[in-house]
Amino acid sequence: MPIRPANFADLLPGAHVCAKAFKDEDLFGERIHPNRSAFPGDMYLFFLRQLRKDYFDGRTIVMVSHPKDQPSSVTGVAVWTRKGPGGDRMAASQSWSAWFTGRFLIPAYNWLGSLIWQNRAADSAMVDILDRAMPFTEHYWKTPECLENWYLALLGTGPEYQGHGYGKELLKWGIERATEEGICVSLVSANGKDGFYKRYGIDQEVGWASEGGKENPIHDIAGGMILFSKKFEK
């Protein structure tokens, strides 16, 4: 299935794909968007604002999949972030205009948009839950053997497109980049999805995103297995 780097116009349909893909998922659905049944058209706003930030992050590549005969359509989205010194080099090579847009214009745009188009499906106290949970597990990405890696921050395909290979191709993109560099891949698996990633060599179970006791705001979220691959050989 064909994939390509996203352009800015892809972010809106990509956000709708993610909203459908994660509608019933424990974290993005149940916890962050408890009112999604009452406001089914609002959940995409959460993903749209995040994808805008990712798009202008110098360490991050947003990839989309599409049907062979419809290159402008979006069937799936993957957000890949290069962690470690390699990511720092990517960010340093970013153009000044892209850096300025990501650092200042997009946050302002998202903030203004949140006032005009409120995400009524979300619990406002839960929107930043991932940021608050990160300190409990970030040490896994700081060990010498795991410092350099491509991190799959998000992978979602529309329910009507699942099982057709779009997710596999979006996953393989990051694996190919890691192979080129001789480094590993990392991710946090949604509940029940770890078997999919393990089939492609991302099979080293190192921990859980929910660990750390009740101080971790996602301590009771289902899933969240932290997976690393071994270093892919060039």
**Mean model confidence pLDDT for the chain:** 96
Answer whether 0.85 is exceeded by the pTM.
Answer: yes
pLDDT, tens digit, 9 for 90 and up, residues 127-153: 999 999 999 999 999 999 899 999 999
**What superfamily does domain 3-228 belong to in CATH?**
Gcn5-related N-acetyltransferase (GNAT) (3.40.630.30)
Q: What are phi and psi of 82, to 5 degrees?
A: -85, 110
Domain spans in the chain, listed from the N-terminal domain onward: 3-228
The secondary structure of 29-80, three-state, reads: HHHCCCCCCCCCCCCHHHHHHHHHHHHCCCCEEEEEECCCCCCCCCCEEEEE
The residue-averaged pLDDT of 55-59 equals 98
